[in-house]
Structure 1
Amino acid sequence: MLIRYCSLLLILISSTVLLPAHVSAAETSKEPSSTALELKAGDRVVFIGNTFADQLRLNNYLETLMTSQATVPGLTFRNLAWSGDTLKLRPRPLNFGSLDEHLKEQQADVIIACFGMNESFDGEAGLAEYGEAWKQFLQHLSSQKCNGKSAPRVVIISPIAHENMGPPLPDPVEHNQSLEKYTLAMQKVAKQHQVPFVDLFSKSKNMMQNNISQKLTRNGIHLNEYGYWAISHFVAEQLLGKKLESPSVVIDVSQKQIEASHAKVSASNFQAEQIEFTLQADTLPLPAPPQTSIPDSELMEKQPRLTIRNLPEGKYRLLVNGTPVTEARHSDWARGLLLMHLPSQEQVRDLRSNIARKNELFFYVYRAHNAEYVFGRRTKPFGAVSFPPEMETFDKLIADRETTIKAQARPLDETKWGLFRVD
């Protein structure tokens, strides 16, 4: 079933951490929660919510991380979110179909529900009703079998904090007080129903305070690209139940030793002014930050790093599969260099690009631009003839992309690394 655009009302979620439901919203955990989402091979994961969830499909960092870092294979994702949605109000075009119908059509195994930003503007007056709406919603989902076999596993994600953008935009202090209360209400319901809860409010608030050089949002409540990149790392860690790190290598020239994390080293060769070895990564590196951003230093520590100690003085160039990656002096290598142009990083960029195209294709089906002919008042006589075959074509294009995504989601062949003195 399909659709068109809808009005942009407000938004939803933002930043980070999936906590056990009994932890207060003011607390954040440095380690993934013990209530991490249970994922199974082949799960269909569906996002619902408003602007935060809707625009995940435009940035695609979270889906890239979950696709490439999950310990189970074959996860697929669909985005049914719609800017302006609230938990109780989801306006749609004529004959569009209910949320239940779309969840069943997509055979949802897992539902990631992102609400709360829009509702938070109701303040104290709407708080009790909001908590009750969550109870009813979770009870309803527990009675559904969207995949035809079992009730969906649900994750609740809170809204982000309201970022201070300065005049002329409003001071966020009062709104953040409301957001914290709505986050606590969601957390309480999550605990009662024993479902995972991601506290984005607390984490995003900390991120906004700790890296004032880089804004997370465009306008205080809608994430920018950097915001999606940063927050997706934390959300993915919590949903997957593990800390995420890229493969890294440490070499001690004097000991002729090579140690690798999240990778295996073989065929090492130490010579006077060069080092060669073969690397097989266990996992892909994490997506690099947007080029124009000023990224958080802790998040950058998760990027691939090569450290080489006790090199003779001089300048050295790194080649991977014969292609120059970077060059630096011995003292810089000893401190460790972040690597940003590895073949595996290009693979991650291609993966994210294919995920973006897949999501774009699905958007054209789910929210069809010519909805009047597809399912609206002009379905007969024109739409009923033309559009079913066209929708089948979209389905095939999406399936083809997902075949490519599945192949790209894991490290491919071994890579040949070489460090050579250049002066």
Structure 2
Amino acid sequence: MMKIVTKRTWVLFIIVAAVAVGGILFLVRSKQPTLPLKKGAHIVLIGNNLGSRMMNYGHFETELQLRYPDSNLYIRNMCDGGNTPGFRPHASRKSPWAFPGAENFQTDLAQPSGSEGFFETEDQWLARLKADIIIAFFGYNESFEGAEGLENYKSELDAFIKHTIKQQYNGTSPVKLALVSPIAFENLSKQYDLPDGNQENRNLSLYAAAMKEIAAKNNVHFVDVYNPTERWYFWTKEPLTIDGSQLTDAGYARFAPLLADLIFGKADVKNEDNRDLIRHAVLEKIGCGITILKFRMGYMLMVEDMIHLGLIITLLKLRKSEK
């Protein structure tokens, strides 16, 4: 006679399975290669809306400052929604192409706007910021082209990587590059008039796999955030996105330590009690940075440096108070 599985037994099974999966993922993540993080490193984020919306919440930089309070990290975010490896337009910038030859990979939807001005190119900005490490977020916008656009995207991404890793933006050594996949699409179709994510995730998984392939081909650090976020949606009761594709504040709070672990390796937060204070200082700095980077003529960099100095002073005061 078949035994009836009670609700309690089923719940216990799910808990055990979750713990087992979590343990396996922890071991896998701890063995993954990471980028070295030196004192005074200049970290610059580029790419699409996944990276751009991080500026709204400040969790990622806060996480890094709390993990490495003595490292005097210099972090800037140049991401903008819609950016691709080769197409990164900006008002007052004459050309939207991020590197020579980038126009060869674009469709007729990506055209020069005819804008006039003196806003510096992507490479000029990265040199001005003296980037040691670039964290690049791509793959979501491009995934709408489906399987038909996959080879073109791989070619564009390959050309971007080859161009980028040859640059010495800091003036002394080649830049280190971390390539971040798109996140999975969350199914919120029961709550809102949105897609269920099945088709979106088929495309996103294709593009994430393609990024892993091209990164390996060029010996570049690849960060898979598609698979972890897909698992999050399965186990989490509250939505982690506002529309299936854009993370909420809580989503980014969870995303920050994942990204830090996968890029730089696991590290302890030195003083969790200071998180809110550090995040407030980070958001103040980011607010000024957005004004500067998105400002049409691209000046007032001295103001951003003053805000960076303010963050350093905040960290120093906290360090002294702890002693």
CA shift digits 1:302-345 (9 cap, x unpaired): xxxxxxxxxxxxxxxxxxxxxxxxxxxxxxxxxxxxxxxxxxx2
Q: Residues 63 and 410 (structure 1 numbering): CA distance in 2 closer, same or farther, change over 3 Å?
A: farther
Other-structure match for 1:110: 133
Q: Secondary structure at the match of 2:322?
A: coil
CA deviation vs aligned residue, 1:15-45 (integer Å, no higher than 9, x gap): xxxxxxxxxxxx9555334311111111000
- Counterpart of 2:179, as a letter, is I
1:400 and 2:315 correspond: no
User: Does the Cα contact within 8 Å between 2:166 and 2:174 map onto a contact in 1?
Assistant: yes
Q: Unpaired runs of 5+ in structure 1? A: 1-26, 247-282, 286-344, 376-387, 415-423
TM-score (norm 2): 0.79
Which amino acid is the alignment partner of residue 47 of structure 2? G
Alignment equivalent of 2:165, drawn from 127, 142, 149? 142
Partner residue of 1:174 out of 175, 196, 199: 199
Secondary structure at the residue paired with 1:55? helix
Q: Which residue of the partner structure matches residue 198 of structure 1? A: 223
Report what 1:131 is aligned to. 154
What CA distance in whole angstroms lies between the structure 2 residues aligned with 1:57 and 1:135?
27
Contact 1:208-1:215 within 8 A present in 2 as well: yes
Question: Would you tell me which structure has more helix in proportion to its own residues?
Answer: 2
Contact 1:84–1:118 under 8 Å retained in 2: yes
One-letter amino acid of the counterpart of residue 44, structure 2 = V
Partner of 2:113: none
Task: Label 1:208 to 1:243 Cα distance change in 2 as closer, same or farther (>3 A).
Answer: farther
Q: Tell me which residue corresponds to 1:361.
A: 288
Q: Is the deviation greater in 87-96 or in 396-405?
A: 396-405
Question: How big is the shift at 1:55?
Answer: 1.3
Alpha-carbon distance in structure 2 between the residues aligned to 1:408 and 1:202: 40
Q: Is the 8 A contact 1:351 1:408 kept in 2?
A: no
Task: Give the secondary structure class of the aligned counterpart of 1:138.
Answer: helix
> Equivalents in 2 of 1:150, 1:71: separation in Å?
24
**What are the Cα deviations for residues 200-224 of structure 1, in whole angstroms up to 9, with x where unaligned?**
100000001011x111100000111
**Counterpart pick for 1:38 among 17, 36, 39:** 36
Query: 2:208 and 2:25 mapped to 1: Cα distance?
Result: 13
Q: 1:229 aligns with which of 247, 253, 256?
A: 253
Alignment-derived partner of residue 352 in structure 1: 279
Q: CA RMSD in A?
A: 2.1
1:68 corresponds to 2:66: yes
In 1, the alpha carbon distance for the partners of 2:267 and 2:285 equals 27
Q: Specify the code of the residue in structure 2 equivalent to 1:112.
A: I
Q: Which stretch shifts more, 154-163 or 183-192? A: 183-192
* Cα pair 2:57 2:249 within 8 Å, conserved: yes
Larger Rg: 1
Q: What is the correspondence of 1:183-332 to structure 2 with a 5 Å cutoff?
A: 183-211=208-236, 213-242=237-266, 244=268, 283-285=270-272
* Residue equivalent to 1:51: 49
**What one-letter code is carried by the residue in structure 2 that aligns with 1:219?**
D
Deviation at 1:83, TM superposition (A): 1.2
Deviation, structure 1 residue 191: 1.3
Residues 1:410 and 1:63: Cα distance change in structure 2 (over 3 Å): farther
Q: CA shift at 1:240, angstroms? A: 2.4
In structure 2, give the amino acid aligned to 1:76. Y
Deviations 1:33-70 (A, max 9, x none): 43111111110000001111011111111111111113
**Identity over aligned residues, as a percent?**
27
1:393–1:90 distance in 2 versus 1, CA, 3 Å: closer
Letter in 1 for 2:307: I
Q: Write the distance in 2 (CA, Å) between the matches of 1:176 and 1:410.
A: 45
User: Larger % of strand: which?
Assistant: 1
* In structure 2, distance between residues paired with 1:235 and 1:350: 21
Q: Do 2:57 and 2:252's aligned partners in 1 also have CA atoms closer than 8 Å?
A: yes
